[in-house]
Amino acid sequence: MVQNDHVIWRALGAVALALALMSSVAMATVPAGPRLAVVKAAAKRLELVTVNRNGGDALHLAGGGYRLRPPLVDLFSPVSWFADGSRLAFSGIVRFEKGDDHEAIQKIFTVGADGHGLRAIRGTHEGLGPVVSPDGHTVAFTRTVDRETPTTVGGKSWKQGFQGSSVWTVDLQTGAQRQLTPWRAGLTASASSFSPDGSTLLVTYEDPLLLNESQPVALALDGSGSRRIVEDGASPVYSPDGSRIALVRCIQEYGENREENTDLFVVNADGTGLRRLTRTPGRPELSPSWDPSGERLAYIRLPLVRSEDAPFGYGDALMEINADGTCPTKVASPRRSFFFNPAWQPGPSRGAGRIEC
């Protein structure tokens, strides 16, 4: 009888804990209005935060220090929202390998928009750049291998080491994985956006056989093939209605000092109607993200002055611009930190609309 009592009390305790967790989730509040997720770096801290459309009202979601889990958010890995805006996926650094290069080991995590419910996605070891499917069932991500010593990749032995990446998907319920792009030495591929209907995934290729120029490609997930969007470009992302694609393109500037930088462009989803939105010689622009209304974009503009201590420069700018190229606006430019990888939070009433200037 005593043993049965223990069983009953343990069952009741489990029920009570489950109810408490459900209650805490139900009571969690998500900030209202348009929000931007950004990766913020400052003083050995890499964290994921959201800010309002003016760059204020920061809310910490994950990362920040070595004693937290995960201790650091990967600065170079874009983040992705679930379609309802309740959660987002990101790449976290879980540890550093021993040795001279201290290679970072990443895994994909999800976290609630209020900073609660941090979870690792199984099967995403060494995963970067998560992209959540519109139905929220799968996540596309990039798996990278960079080794100088003999290794085995894709079932093949590489005596001289291997450097390359491929795109995968993982089912969030079953953990089943699917490889979408092949392993080949020197070939890198990174996913950046699903079409609204989930049938197509935008991918950026860099292929040494094509002089290392970035190629934005629409990859059909039914296996029917791929289509190049424009001749060169990177980080392509669909507009909310799927009719347009924003991306960055490398621009060669000729003058007293030859510069190479990236500017922001928009093109129709079929590759027609390419339009340049920005002209910023010497100031690379990165990571475009559409707001839910489809009327403006957020992106990052790097500063002119950089150094060995701050290769990306302190005081970079979180920017916004109308989708027609008007009203480029600096939202935030911290003096001793910098932002990367902005991502607009989707969902009803979260559209920021046009910028008035």
Determine the pLDDT at residue 254. Answer: 53
pLDDT of residue 211: 65
pLDDT of residue 103: 67
Q: Measure the CA–CA gap between 163 and 169, rounded to whole angstroms.
A: 20
Quote the pLDDT of residue 282: 77
Residue whose tokens read 């992705």: 80
Q: Count other C-beta atoms under 10 Å from residue 25's C-beta.
A: 12
Q: What is the pLDDT of residue 12?
A: 32
pLDDT for position 217: 95
The structure's pTM equals: 0.84
Identify whether the C-beta of residue 158 lies closer than 8 Å to the C-beta of residue 164.
no
Cα-Cα-Cα-Cα dihedral sign, residues 320, 322, 311, 92: positive
- At residue 149, the 3 state secondary structure works out as coil
| Residues 25/346/344/67 CA torsion (nearest 10 deg) | 20
β-strand partners of 153: 156
Mean pLDDT by 10 residues, the chain (357 residues): 38 34 42 87 83 86 74 85 95 72 79 93 90 96 85 84 90 93 90 96 88 87 91 94 96 57 94 94 90 96 62 70 95 78 92 91
pLDDT of amino acid 209: 76
**What are the residues whose beta carbons fall under 8 Å from the beta carbon of 281, sequence distance 6 or more?**
253, 255, 259, 261
Residue in the block written with tokens 């009390």: 9
What tokens appear for 65 in the block?
């220090």
Which of 306, 300, 310 lies closest to 43 in space, CA to CA? Answer: 310
Dihedral over alpha carbons 253, 257, 258, 259 (to 10 degrees):
-60
Structure confidence at residue 3 (pLDDT): 40
Q: Which residues share a beta bridge with 317?
A: 301
